[in-house]
Amino acid sequence: MIIPPGFASFSEYSDQFLRNVAVDNVIFGYHEKELKVLLQQPYTLEKWTVTGGYIKKTESIEDAASRIAFDRTGIKGLYLKQFGSFGNPQRVIDDGFTPQRIGKITGFELPADSWIFDYFVSVAFYTLTEFSKVESTKGELEADSRWWPVNELPPMMFDHAHIINEALSALRLHIAHFPIGYELLPEKFTLPEIHSLYETILGKSLDDRNFTKKLLLTKIITKLDETRKIGRHRSPFLYKFDKEHYQEGLKSGVALVF
């Protein structure tokens, strides 16, 4: 726990939070065939972390996740899905998280037996957004904040690379059972565009015809009587989401196992 400016002591700041438990948000961003994840680099570390923060005693874990996600992305109402909690004693070792180092940066001297140096359980959420819409804002405590391609991660703190992998598995399981795309594609899109969205998130190629057939069976998209010229001889039809079936799918699920 790093103390932001304006607090007189460690306990004045830390007393508002639960101890030994925190929230991590894995914020995925999709944009034109790229899947990225928002990472930050605290001043205290050379390694990177997913976005996260502490839980106020007065808020639920879900409220903490929303507050922290809003802080980092400026987007309100991001759909955050809890996918697991992570906790083991190795979470504090070898990542420069020492009383000395923290004291140097914050100006507060913490006792070496403070609970802050016991491991923290991380309650982890993920979300998926359109990353060109997000201005990632680096907090006062971060040296850097940036979108990274999910398959080219920088050195990560603790088990954060593992947390991202688990979030990705949860996201992939999710899109096999629920519709996605509403906020990730333009209002009118081509079949190749939605095909690329699924391929990018799943990280594998999907047979064209089979994909289209399954997708149309779910009725979440509708063909428009309209084409888009994308090349001299190519003018594919446009599609849009069918609001009713999409909403119904969000509730009851759709069969899209690939």
- In angstroms, the CA 132 to CA 152 distance is 19
CB of 116 to its own copies, least distance (A): 11
- In angstroms, the CA 218 to CA 12 distance is 54
Q: CB under 8 A: which stretch of 114-122, 126-134, 188-196, 211-219 binds its own copies?
A: 114-122
Q: Which CB sits closer to its own copies, 43 or 97?
A: 97
Q: DSSP assignment of 178-206, as one string? A: S---TTTS-SSEEHHHHHHHHHHHHTS--
Q: Could you say whether residue 21 binds its own copies (CB under 8 A)?
A: yes
Q: Could you say whether residue 148 binds its own copies (CB under 8 A)?
A: no
Q: How far from 239 is each of 105, 182, 208, 230, CA to CA, in Å? A: 53, 12, 16, 15
Binding residues for its own copies, rule CB under 8 A, total 24
Q: CB under 8 A: which stretch of 28-36, 60-68, 133-141, 213-221 binds its own copies?
A: 60-68
| C-alpha dihedral sign at 210, 227, 184, 247 | negative
Q: Could you say whether residue 75 binds its own copies (CB under 8 A)?
A: no
- In angstroms, the CA 152 to CA 158 distance is 17
Contacting residue, 59, 130, 199, 248, with its own copies by CB under 8 A: 59
Binding mask 88-107 for its own copies (x = CB under 8 A): xx------------------
